[in-house]
Amino acid sequence: MVAALNTNQNAVQMVTYIGDHINDFLNDYKKNSESSFRNYRSSLNKVFKDLIKKSEYRYISKEDIENLTVSRLKDYFNSLHDELNEDDEPKYKNATINRHISVIKEFIRYLRNWDIISYDLDKLNLVKSLPDTREEIEMIPFDLAMEYADYFAKEEQGLEKSLIIKLATETALRASELLTVDWSNFTEVEDGVILKSNGHNKGKGNKEWIDKIDKELYEELLQLKEIGNTDKLFNLTYKQLRGMMDRGNNLLNKTGIDYSFHSFKKLAVTMCYLNNGNCIDTAMKKARHSNVNTTMRYLRLTNLNVTGIISAKMNTSEELYKTVSHELLLECLEEMRPEMLLLLNNKIKNKSSESDSL
């Protein structure tokens, strides 16, 4: 154990470094298993680097470890769980995150039991391991997404919360990308508004991204300037978005599925696919995926409520909709998913425009 003096203009503070104790902790495992030693060292190195911003054990102090509060640890491991790779798949397996959780908890207990640090070990029980398997992120239904947007519009920073949901549903941008969007990313053109990345806010993997939105949505976004957001569009944090989704799932969601903010991207990609004649290439570009298999997983049939389509076709006349009454047809349309009605309305709008131009 090494004690050092850090001197500044106002005070002299004693810092207790614990590098020797870290090595002792790891060496206990090295005696029994070289593999366990490597895994424990890897986990500690990651947590120390990410949370303490130090990679050398000799510069880690007891105060650094005591500042790893339960709240900080929970937020950190939640962020690892939510982190995605360039193909929008989980970057870390739950088993890997659980190993990091187990190692840091065991290390804190080790230091506390040797009276090296002060820590409430009972609270460590609040940092829980994740399930053994990861459920795939689900697409949120369009009508529920808009219900979330309307509901959160009534909260503090409600305009930002409502519009970030709408922009996510429109563009398929990730939360990390949306939180850095500023007004310089927008360029008005004749038939809409181009939204394009630039040097400081490229996408995941430093990729360029580009999309196009309707001028009406852009007019809604301009309201953010009126409330003082003259630089970035959104002064929100990822933690706020996560809390927002948790509240929405508890208060509004009756599906039994816990949607995450990424569910809006899945909705955007799915609607792009359907709106463009089931074109997988267009959907892949919308999602900005580098692997078409990732896009294919986004477009699972279960997400579209389509099952047993061959059997359904065999037992239902393809001309049935032409033979029923107008009233029954309207009644059935009103019970269809909003996404399907949106596709129908867009088709009607396009056909009407073609007719008017003749």
167-206 confidence digits (pLDDT tens): 999 999 999 899 999 999 999 998 889 999 886 666 666 6
Q: What are phi and psi of 239, to 5 degrees?
A: -65, -40
In this prediction, residue 205 carries a pLDDT of 61
Domain assignment present for residue 268? The answer is yes
CATH at 148: 1.10.443.10
Domain assignment present for residue 215? The answer is yes
Q: Whole-angstrom Cα distance, residue 250 to residue 29?
A: 43
- 68: confidence class by pLDDT, cuts 50, 70, 90: very high
In this prediction, residue 339 carries a pLDDT of 72
Domain identity same for 42 and 160: no
- 342: confidence class by pLDDT, cuts 50, 70, 90: confident
In this prediction, residue 209 carries a pLDDT of 84
Greater pLDDT, 161 or 15: 161
- In degrees to the nearest 10, what's the CA dihedral of 19, 20, 26, 29? -170
In this prediction, residue 313 carries a pLDDT of 46
In this prediction, residue 304 carries a pLDDT of 43
73 touches 128 (CB < 8 A): no
Residue 54 gets which letter from DSSP?
A: -
- In degrees to the nearest 10, what's the CA dihedral of 248, 238, 266, 308? -50
Output the CA angle 92-97-101, nearest 5 degrees: 165
| Cβ count within 10 A of residue 253 | 18
Domain identity same for 159 and 96: no
In this prediction, residue 10 carries a pLDDT of 46
Chain position carrying tokens 């850090």: 6
Domain assignment present for residue 137? The answer is no
Output the CA angle 206-97-284, nearest 5 degrees: 35
Greater pLDDT, 329 or 27: 27
Q: What percent of the chain has pLDDT over 90?
A: 49
Average the pLDDT over each of 32-46, 98-112, 274-288, 342-356 and give the range with the smallest value.
342-356
Torsion over CA: 228, 171, 287, 206 (sign): negative
Greater pLDDT, 343 or 259: 259
Domain identity same for 109 and 66: yes
Chain position carrying tokens 């953010």: 224
In this prediction, residue 309 carries a pLDDT of 42
333 touches 138 (CB < 8 A): no
Domain identity same for 196 and 263: yes
Greater pLDDT, 340 or 21: 21
Domain identity same for 84 and 182: no
Domain identity same for 151 and 293: yes
User: Which helix (H) or strand (E) covers residue 82, if one does?
Assistant: helix 70-82
Domain identity same for 153 and 282: yes
Residue 7 has pLDDT above 60, yes or no: no
For the segment 79-124, what is each residue's pLDDT rounded down to a tens digit?
998 888 776 778 888 888 999 999 999 999 999 999 999 999 999 9
Residue 236 gets which letter from DSSP?
A: -
Give SS3 for 19. Answer: helix
Chain position carrying tokens 């424990």: 40
User: Mean pLDDT, the chain, as a whole number?
Assistant: 84
Is residue 297 exposed (0-12), middle (13-18) or buried (19+ Cβ within 10 Å)?
middle
Domain identity same for 216 and 277: yes
In this prediction, residue 306 carries a pLDDT of 41
What is the count of structural domains for the chain? Answer: 3
Q: Whole-angstrom Cα distance, residue 56 to residue 60?
A: 7
Where does a domain end: 302, 329, 348? 302
Q: Whole-angstrom Cα distance, residue 214 to residue 203?
A: 22
Domain identity same for 121 and 91: yes
Domain assignment present for residue 308? The answer is no
Domain identity same for 104 and 250: no
Residue 350 has pLDDT above 50, yes or no: yes
Q: Write down the pTM of the prediction.
A: 0.57
Domain assignment present for residue 336? The answer is yes
Greater pLDDT, 6 or 233: 233
- 255: confidence class by pLDDT, cuts 50, 70, 90: confident
| Cβ count within 10 A of residue 321 | 12
The domain in which residue 43 lies consists of 2-126
> Rounded to an integer, what is the distance from CA 264 to the centroid of its chain?
9
70 touches 124 (CB < 8 A): yes
Which is nearest to 333 in space by CA: 344, 348, 322?
Answer: 344
Mean pLDDT over residues 230-257, rounded?
92
- 294: confidence class by pLDDT, cuts 50, 70, 90: confident
